[in-house]
Chains A and B, each alone.
Chain A
Amino acid sequence: MKTKIFKLAFIILIASFASCSETNDKITDQKDYNIYLELEENEALLIARGDHQFWEKKLEKNPDQFPYMMKLAASQSQLFNLTGNIEYLKDAETYLVQANEITNNDNAGYLRSLARNYISQHRFSEALEVLKKAEINGEKLRATQLMLFDTYLELGNIEKAKYYLNATENYKEFDFLIRKSKWSDHHGELNFAIDYLENAMAIAESSNNKQLLQWVYTNIADYYGHDGQIKKSYEHYLKALQLNPSNSYAKKGIAWIVYSYEKNPDEALRILDSTTRRYEAPDYYLLRAEIAEYSNDLKLKYENINQFLQTIQNESYGVMYNAHLANLFAEEYQDYSKSLQLAQLEIDQRPTPLSYDLLAWTYFQKKEFKKALAVAEKHVLNKTFEPIALYHIAEIYKALGDQDNLKKLKPELVESGFELGPLMAQKIQQL
C-alpha cells in the first residue's frame, strides 16, 4: 500500500514537472539584452575594419612582403566572423594560399592558418592535406596535432581523432580541454563535456583573453541548454555579450531560449532581426523560417526559405550548406534524387554518422524504410548521440512498426525537447 502511495506521489510529481515544462518560467528579460540589440556602433567591427585597411595598404605598397598577406588574411577571417560575409573568408583563402606558395609550404604556422580557413569552409579533406604538411614540418607540432583532431573528427575518422587527442593530452590546458569536451559530447557524455568545458572556462578566465572567453561562454551556454540548465545557459550568453556586445552567436542563443523554452516566437524574431542587421549567415534564414512556422506564419516561413536558397546560390559558399540543402530538397520539395545526390556527396566528403543520417533520412522521406534502417543501423546508431539523428531513427522504427526499439529511444528524445525546438518536440510526443 505504502509503495503504491509513493508511486502515486511520484507520478503526480512527474506530472507536475511535465506540466511545468509546458508553461516554462520566464528566464529571459529584455532589460538584460536590449542594450545589445540597440547598439549603434560595433566596436569589434570598427577595429577589424581598421586592421584590414592597414594591412591592405601595406601589402599594396609592398606586394613582396608575404607576412602582410598573413595579417591581411587574419583580418579578413575576423571580418567574416563578425559579419558572416563569406567573401571575406574566400579572400582570406586567396592570400593564405599565396603566402604558403611563397614559403614553399614549409611554414607550419602559415599552413595551420590555411587549414583553419578550409575548416571554416567545411573543406575538411583539403584541411587535412595541409595539416599533414604542417605535421611533417614539425614546428609547434602540438598545435598541428590539435587541429588534426578537429579535422579527423569532422571527417568521421574516429580512430585517428582519438590518436591525436591522446597525443595532446594535458588536463591543465585550454586547447586540450575544449577538445576533450567535444569528444565527450560526441560520445553522448554531456556531463563530462560540461565538466571539461568548465575547466577550460576557468583557464580562459584566469588568462583574461576576450576572444577565448567569448568562445567558451557561448559554447558552454549551448551545453547547459542541451542539459536543461536553461537559466545558466542564458547567463553565459549574456556574459559573452558583456565582453562583445555584437556577439551574434550569443544573440542567436538567447533567441533560441526565448523561442524554444519560453515559446515567445515574436520576441525571438525581434532578437534575430536586430542581429541579422549586422550578421548575414544563411542559416539565420532557416531559424527564422522555423520560428515563423511555429507562429503559423507560412508566408514568412517561405520568404525565409527562399532567401536562404537565394543566398547560398553564391558559389563562394561551396559545400558549406549541402547538408541543409539535402534536407530541404527531400522534405520541402520532395526532390529525392537531388537530395540523395547531396547526401552521397556529404558522405564522400566526410563519412560521419551525421552524413549517413542525412542519407537515411532521405530514404525515409522516400518511404524506403528498410533502406533507411539499414543505413541508420550500420552508420548512425550508437555512433552519434545527436538528438536529431536519434529522432530520425525513432521515426524509422515507428514506420517499420518496431515499438520495442522505439520505446528505448523515446525518453531521451523527450528530454531533448529544448534542444530540438517546440515543433519537433510535438512530433516526438506523437511517436
Chain B
Amino acid sequence: MKTIKLILGIVLIGTVLFSCSKEENLDEDFRNANVAGTYLQMDQMARPAINTVFVSSGSKDAFNTTIPSEQNAAFQAMFQANLQGLSPAFANDTDANALGLTAEAFSGFLSTDVLNVSTVGTTTFFDGVNVLTGRALADDVITVELLLIFGGEDFSENPGLSDDHVDANDVAFLPEFPYLAAPH
C-alpha cells in the first residue's frame, strides 16, 4: 500500500514537473524562436474573389492595405461603378438583387471586406435560408456571389453568368478537425 502511494506520489510529482517544464519550455521555445517584433501588412481578405472582381487593378495594392473600417469610404464608388459595368442586372438605378440591395447598397455592403459570422446559429454563405452568416468549406460561394451580382431580383436573370457549374469540391471534407481534406 505504502509503495503504491509512493509510486503514485512519484507519478504525481512527475506529472506536475512534466507539465511545468513543458510550459516553461514552450515559453522559452517561443522566446528563442525570435518571433517578437513589428509586422507590417502585406495582404488581407475576407469574402472570396471580391477583390478580384470589384477592385480595379491599379487600386488593389491600396485596397489590401486599407483597414476594413475605412474601405467603404474609399472604395464604395469604385465597387458600384465596376458592379454596374459588369452586370446587366444593375442597368437601372432601381434594379436590385435577391437581397433587395440596389447597386449602391450592394456595393456599400461589399466594399467593407469582412466576413459576417453568426456565433449563435448556422454559419453559411448561403444555404437557402441563412444568408451570409459565415463561410463553410462546402459552400458554393462563387455561385452565390454570381447570383447576387448577375441573377437580378429573383436569381433568374443572366443564367449564363450566374452559375459557374462547379458545385462542390473535388474531394470530400473531413467531419472533424482539421476539416480540410488530406493533400493530393
Query: Is this pair of chains taken from one and the same complex?
Result: yes
Residues of A within 8 A of B (CB): 106, 108, 137-142, 206
> Which one of A106, A139, A206 lies within 8 Å of B60 (CB-CB)?
A139
Q: Whose C-beta in chain B lies nearest to the C-beta of A141? A: B61
- 17 A-B contacts (beta carbon < 8 Å): A106-B57, A108-B57, A137-B57, A137-B58, A138-B57, A138-B58, A138-B59, A138-B60, A138-B61, A139-B57, A139-B58, A139-B60, A140-B60, A140-B61, A141-B61, A142-B61, A206-B34
Interface centre among B57, B58, B60, by most chain A C-beta atoms within 10 angstroms, is B57
- Return chain B residues, CB-CB under 8 Å to A141: 61
- For chain B residues 56-70, which have a beta carbon within 8 Å of chain A? 57-61
- Return chain B residues, CB-CB under 8 Å to A137: 57-58
Tier of interface size on chain B: under 10
Interface of A is mostly: helix
Closest Cβ–Cβ distance, residue B37 to chain A (whole Å): 10
Closest Cβ–Cβ distance, residue B153 to chain A (whole Å): 32
8 extra interface residue pairs, beta carbon distance < 8 Å, beyond A108-B57, A140-B61, A206-B34: A106-B57, A138-B57, A138-B60, A138-B61, A139-B58, A139-B60, A139-B61, A140-B60
- Return chain B residues, CB-CB under 8 Å to A142: 61
Q: Whose C-beta in chain B lies nearest to the C-beta of A136? A: B58
Closest Cβ–Cβ distance, residue A71 to chain B (whole Å): 14
Top 10 nearest A-B pairs (CB, nearest first) are A138-B58, A137-B57, A139-B57, A139-B60, A138-B57, A141-B61, A140-B61, A108-B57, A106-B57, A139-B61
Closest Cβ–Cβ distance, residue A112 to chain B (whole Å): 13
Q: Whose C-beta in chain A lies nearest to the C-beta of B184? A: A54
- Return chain A residues, CB-CB under 8 Å to B60: 138-140
Closest Cβ–Cβ distance, residue A50 to chain B (whole Å): 12
- Return chain A residues, CB-CB under 8 Å to B59: 138
Distance A206 CA – B33 CA, assembled complex (angstroms): 10
- Return chain B residues, CB-CB under 8 Å to A139: 57-58, 60-61
Closest Cβ–Cβ distance, residue B74 to chain A (whole Å): 16
Q: Whose C-beta in chain A lies nearest to the C-beta of B60? A: A139
Distance A420 CA – B126 CA, assembled complex (angstroms): 68
Closest Cβ–Cβ distance, residue B54 to chain A (whole Å): 14
Distance A63 CA – B94 CA, assembled complex (angstroms): 41
Distance A142 CA – B34 CA, assembled complex (angstroms): 28
Closest Cβ–Cβ distance, residue B19 to chain A (whole Å): 30
- Return chain A residues, CB-CB under 8 Å to B58: 137-139
- For chain B residues 70-120, which have a beta carbon within 8 Å of chain A? none
